[in-house]
Amino acid sequence: MPMSEEKLHLISVLGAGLLVGTALAVIIPEGVRSLDSAVIVHSFPSTKKDAGVAIAPVEETSTDIHSLIGISLVLGFVFMLLVDQCSASRSRDLEGSTVSERNITATVGLVVHAAADGVALGAAATTDQASVEMIVFVAIMLHKAPAAFGLVTFLLHEGLDRNRIRRHLLIFSLSAPLLALLTYFGIGQEGKETLSSVNATGIAMLFSAGTFLYVATVHVLPELTSRGGHSHGGALIETSEKRGLRTIELTFLIVGALLPLFLTVGHHH
φ and ψ at residue 227, rounded to 5 degrees: -100, 120
Confidence of residue 149 (pLDDT cuts 50, 70, 90): confident
- Cα–Cα distance for residue pair 20/256, rounded to 1 Å: 8
Mean pLDDT, range 90-118, rounded to an integer? 68
Q: Is the pLDDT of residue 227 over 90?
A: no
The distance of Cα 249 from the centroid of its chain, to the nearest Å, equals 21
- pTM score: 0.67
Give the per-residue pLDDT at 251. Answer: 92
Burial (CB < 10 A; 0-12, 13-18, 19+), residue 229, is middle
Rg of the chain over Cα atoms, rounded to whole angstroms, equals 21
Distance CA 29, CA 151 (A): 33
Which pLDDT value is given to residue 8? Answer: 74
Angle of helix 130-157 versus helix 3-22 axis, rounded to 10: 140
* pLDDT above 80: residue 28: yes
* Alpha-helical regions (H) of 94-199: 99-125, 130-157, 162-186, 189-194
- pLDDT for residue 71: 92
